[in-house]
Amino acid sequence: MKMRNPPVNSLSLEFLTELLISLEKLESDKAFHAIILTSDCPGIFSAGLDLMEMCGRDPTHYAEYWKAVQELWLRFYLSHLVVISAINGVNAAGGCLLALSCDYRVLADNPKYAMGLNETLLGIIAPFWFKDTLVNTVGHRTAERALQLGLLFPPAEALQVGMVDKVVPEDQVLSAARSELAQWLAIPGHARQLTKSLMRKPTADRLLKERDADIQNFVRFISRDAIQKALRVYLEKLKQKKT
């Protein structure tokens, strides 16, 4: 599955919906057993959630958007398919969450390709299920430091803390993901799927139990004047970077 939403694969509502439909199609076709998730945007895996969806819109839109974000995470996190990410670019916040929801991560060895949950740098907060997904991957202490500081880890560090499983030269990201896949596909499917569910269901259930409250919390938080201002300032900084 190659993500293509130029220029930065930001996860807009439309793009989230496309990803969701693609995933559902693959999951419902018995011929498919696995996905390699990668990017078609040079140098960028994903810039995360689309800031334009969270800025200057009305509460109904925020609620619709957040429901789609939740849905995509739940579907990827609990997918019965083997999902491996071949991370071939910088990967921030919501994009990093997507990669963390995969079963295995291969990252291209380019110092520019940092990844992490950098929400605090924007003046916003990673929701509890982003946090849980990170904790499940790198452990509590590393997650605590990474989340508070909004750290984006370059490849060597991402490997060291366990945010990714393998770092390979850039031209080998896909072939490395394919080689890894062979090992996962050699395991009896039902045993692997049930084990995945055993490991992940408690984390997913936390959100499933509180889904509506989580949407309301997001809408309240993102609608605050101070948060809207912080997002506008961040977007402006991104634009000024060019001049």
Ligand X SMILES: CC/C=C\CC/C=C/CC(=O)SCCNC(=O)CCNC(=O)[C@H](O)C(C)(C)COP(=O)(O)OP(=O)(O)OC[C@H]1O[C@@H](n2cnc3c(N)ncnc32)[C@H](O)[C@@H]1OP(=O)(O)O
Query: How far apart are CB 50 and ligand X at their closest, in Å?
Result: 4
Is 210 part of the annotated catalytic residue set?
A: no
* Of residues 15, 4, 8, the one with CA closest to residue 239: 8
**Active-site pick, 13, 16, 23, 49:** 49
Query: How far apart are CB 194 and ligand X at their closest, in Å?
Result: 31
Phi, then psi, of 92 in degrees rounded to 5:
-105, 150
Which one among 36, 93, 143, 215 touches ligand X, defined by CB under 6 A?
Answer: 93
Which one among 19, 23, 36, 44 touches ligand X, defined by CB under 6 A?
Answer: 44
Triad 140, 146, 152: Cα angle to 5°: 140
Q: Does 119 bind ligand X (CB under 6 A)?
A: yes
Q: How far apart are CA 62 and CA 54, in angstroms?
A: 6
Q: Does 150 bind ligand X (CB under 6 A)?
A: no
Q: How many residues belong to the site for ligand X (CB under 6 A)?
A: 29
Gyration radius from the chain CA atoms: 17
Which one among 14, 59, 125, 232 touches ligand X, defined by CB under 6 A?
Answer: 125
Which residues are 106's β-sheet partners?
86, 166
Q: How far apart are CA 22 and CA 28, in angstroms?
A: 10
Q: How far apart are CA 75 and CA 94, in angstroms?
A: 14
Nearer to ligand X, 53 or 180 (CB): 53
The region of 91-99, 172-180, 186-194, 199-207 touching ligand X under the rule CB under 6 A is 91-99
Residue type, position 109, single letter: D
Nearer to ligand X, 8 or 35 (CB): 8
Is 98 part of the annotated catalytic residue set?
A: no
* Of residues 131, 154, 127, 129, the one with CA closest to residue 142: 131
Which one among 3, 5, 8, 101 touches ligand X, defined by CB under 6 A?
Answer: 8
The region of 44-52, 136-144, 180-188, 189-197 touching ligand X under the rule CB under 6 A is 44-52
172: which DSSP letter?
G
Strands 43-46 and 34-39: unpaired
Binding site for ligand X (CB under 6 A): 7-8, 10, 44, 47-52, 90, 92-94, 118-119, 122, 124-125, 127, 217-218, 221-222, 235, 238-239, 241-242
